[in-house]
Homo-oligomer: A and B are copies of this chain.
Amino acid sequence: MDGHNSTATDATMKLGEFKVHATDGHARRATLMTAHGPVQTPVFMAVGTKATVKAMTPEELKDCGTQVVLGNTYHLHLRPGEKTIARMGGLHKFMNWHGPILTDSGGFQVFSLSQLRNMTEEGVEFRSHLDGAKHFISPEKSMEIQMDLGSDIIMAFDECLKYPATDEEIEKSMALTYRWLLRSQAAMTRKESLLFGIVQGGLSLKHRLKSMEQICSVDLPGYALGGFSVGEPMHLMHALLPDVAPRMPANKPRYLMGVGTPTDLIIAIDSGVDMFDCVMPTRVARNGTIYTWNGKVSIKRSEYKEDPSALDPECDCYTCKNYSKSYLRHMFMSGEILGSRLNTIHNIHFYMKVMEKAREAIAQGRWAEYRDFCLTRFAKKDS
């Protein structure tokens, strides 16, 4: 049992093939074949921004059930540079992760992190947040970078609008995103990589459906929903997903970018989303926030000073098997690296377990039961 719910048919799948094994409501249990092996969906992908999932080794990621790691095109372009990584043998070898890698387009970071953006039809000029140096990124450049990295799943270069945006801004932006998708497609020539298009359209159903029509008119191995988790109240996304996700092509993977909490994942799977990524489990771990089957735990609380119990009695991760809340609180209060490591191991393991159980539940036709169980459990507060 590898924890990924692999299927017997994986071995015969072709690159880019997406096989839906079971559906339960809108929820789907499927497999996507990449150049670095099959991905069992629904899947949560661990974010490895700068060629490392913060605080984790690749072996620890695997032990936690991680299938796919994300790399960030913007960050890796600035440092150490995609040409350096290419000369070191590509991102897989560079970071010692030999499973599938997905890279984003750089668009999100260009719009959220960099300064002095000058956007034209051609692309975006920006200054590095590291040293102020001028850079230019376009659909073609984004494809070149991601191909140099040797990514298995390459994201089209899109404009990621801020929230809130006016109807006019949304329409203009999604039209540009569509034209940039066509240029991305023309520029993406690496046959081992799969190009995913990104549906935009803000938080308006009308625009989302229009953007989807545009983006999905281009035949691609997968489609993403971008522009969520950009500062909007999450209930708006929750309300929109059931009207949007199920209308995306049924025979292609659906990827909800940058989402989210365990509750977000369950709600999105319920609408038929297959793939997720988010910095949440790793980032909050370093700040001492732990996800458990009984809600969130803030490890710094003084009541844990002499608590000999594990973070989560239902968890079999390395952290829960070997360390008490008392020790983890001490590590956190002392600012120790091991605290960040142990919290991250637990959170990643927890996210992967939520997804593994989701795959099982969908395959066994008891998705609704599992969904309701999760939504009740995850809503519990620190007691």
Report A's interface with B, CB cutoff 8 A: 50-52, 54-57, 79-80, 84, 87-89, 94-96, 305-306, 308, 322-324, 326-327, 329-331, 333-334, 336-338, 340-341
Chain B residues lying within 8 Å of A323, measured Cβ to Cβ, are 96
Complex alpha-carbon distance, A341 and B322, angstroms: 19
Chain B residues lying within 8 Å of A52, measured Cβ to Cβ, are 331, 334, 336-338
Chain B residues lying within 8 Å of A88, measured Cβ to Cβ, are 306, 308, 324, 326-327
A308, B89: Cβ atoms under 8 Å?
yes
Interface centre among A52, A56, A324 (most CB of B within 10 A): A52
Chain B residues lying within 8 Å of A322, measured Cβ to Cβ, are 96
Q: Would A84 and B337 be within 8 Å (CB), given that A322-B96, A327-B95 are in contact?
A: no
Instruction: Tell me the smallest distance from the CB of A47 to a CB of chain B, in Å.
Output: 13
B336, A54: Cβ atoms under 8 Å?
yes
Complex alpha-carbon distance, A88 and B56, angstroms: 27
B94, A324: Cβ atoms under 8 Å?
yes
Partner pick for A330 among B79, B329, B331, B341, CB 8 A cutoff:
B79
B306, A337: Cβ atoms under 8 Å?
no
Instruction: Tell me the smallest distance from the CB of A332 to a CB of chain B, in Å.
Output: 11
Count the copies: 2
Q: Would A57 and B341 be within 8 Å (CB), given that A94-B327, A95-B327, A326-B88 are in contact?
A: yes
Complex alpha-carbon distance, A116 and B113, angstroms: 46
Instruction: Tell me the smallest distance from the CB of A59 to a CB of chain B, in Å.
Output: 9
Instruction: Tell me the smallest distance from the CB of A367 to a CB of chain B, in Å.
Output: 36
Chain B residues lying within 8 Å of A80, measured Cβ to Cβ, are 305, 326, 329-330, 333
A84, B331: Cβ atoms under 8 Å?
no
Q: Would A55 and B308 be within 8 Å (CB), given that A88-B324, A322-B96 are in contact?
A: no
Partner pick for A338 among B56, B326, B333, CB 8 A cutoff:
B56
Chain B residues lying within 8 Å of A57, measured Cβ to Cβ, are 338, 341
Partner pick for A340 among B56, B327, B337, CB 8 A cutoff:
B337
Partner pick for A305 among B84, B327, B337, CB 8 A cutoff:
B84
Q: A79-B334, A96-B322, A337-B341 are in contact. List 11 more A-B contacts (CB 8 A).
A: A51-B330, A51-B331, A54-B338, A55-B341, A79-B333, A80-B333, A88-B306, A89-B308, A95-B327, A96-B327, A337-B337
Q: 16 A-B pairs, CB-CB below 8 angstroms?
A: A52-B336, A52-B337, A54-B336, A56-B338, A57-B341, A79-B330, A80-B330, A80-B333, A84-B305, A84-B306, A87-B306, A88-B324, A94-B327, A96-B322, A96-B327, A337-B340
| Closest Cβ neighbor of A324 among chain B residues | B88
Complex alpha-carbon distance, A337 and B79, angstroms: 16
Chain B residues lying within 8 Å of A341, measured Cβ to Cβ, are 55, 57, 337, 341
| Closest Cβ neighbor of A51 among chain B residues | B330
* 10 A-B pairs with least C-beta separation: A55-B337, A52-B338, A80-B330, A96-B322, A50-B334, A88-B326, A52-B336, A94-B327, A84-B306, A87-B306
Complex alpha-carbon distance, A342 and B327, angstroms: 23
Chain B residues lying within 8 Å of A333, measured Cβ to Cβ, are 79-80
Chain B residues lying within 8 Å of A329, measured Cβ to Cβ, are 80
Chain B residues lying within 8 Å of A331, measured Cβ to Cβ, are 51-52
Partner pick for A54 among B55, B305, B326, B337, CB 8 A cutoff:
B337
B327, A55: Cβ atoms under 8 Å?
no
